[in-house]
Amino acid sequence: MKKAVYPGSFDPITNGHVDIIERISRVFDEVIVLISEAPNKTYLFAPNERKAFIEETLKHLKNVRVDIFEGLTVDYVKKSKAQVMVRGLRAVVDFEYEMTIASMNQKLDPDIETMLVFASPEYYYVSSRGVKEVARYGGSLKGLVPLHVQKSLVERLKKTGV
């Protein structure tokens, strides 16, 4: 059984993430969407909120599950007995960063392979950070995030005043 882990903060999940997850779910028997927690990062949504968004969005994919982890992703991948870590690439500017992460992970565990998946062209520009910025200033989120995420994002930003 081929298993892959797709890590990210998913704060919030975007349609670009969904596109990559749907595509890799056709390649692997099991895909774990891993919500990575970094203590030095500030999040708009709590891990369990992000998990609920992702599970609702991906409920049509029976071979995808969602988990939360704080620590080295390579440790989680090893513990879960996955063979591959999938990383998404939006544009050339992401490549150097992703290559550095892949090289570090290769050093930490040579048995885990990193697979880079290019975002579909319609999502090259979509990022969680960009989506939050658009929402913060009242721009249209149509086509950027799933509808239920859009509503929660707008409500959260109104409530927090961020």
Enclosing H/E stretch for 24: helix 15-25
41 is catalytic: yes
- 50, 51, 87, 90: the catalytic one is 90
Among residues 41, 59, 81, 159, the one annotated as catalytic is: 41
The yes-or-no answer on residue 129 being catalytic is no
Q: What is the CA angle 74-144-44, rounded to 5?
A: 60
Which of 25, 36, 128, 152 is catalytic? The answer is 128
Active site residue 152: no
Give the whole-angstrom CA distance, residue 111 versus residue 84. Answer: 9
Of 108, 88, 79, 62, the C-alpha closest to 9 is 88
DSSP for 17-67, written as a single string: HHHHHHHHHTTSSEEEEEEEE-TTS--SS-HHHHHHHHHHHTTT-TTEEEE
- 148 tagged catalytic: no
Q: Which one from 17, 50, 51, 87 is the annotated catalytic residue?
A: 17
Which residues are catalytically annotated? 17, 41, 90, 128
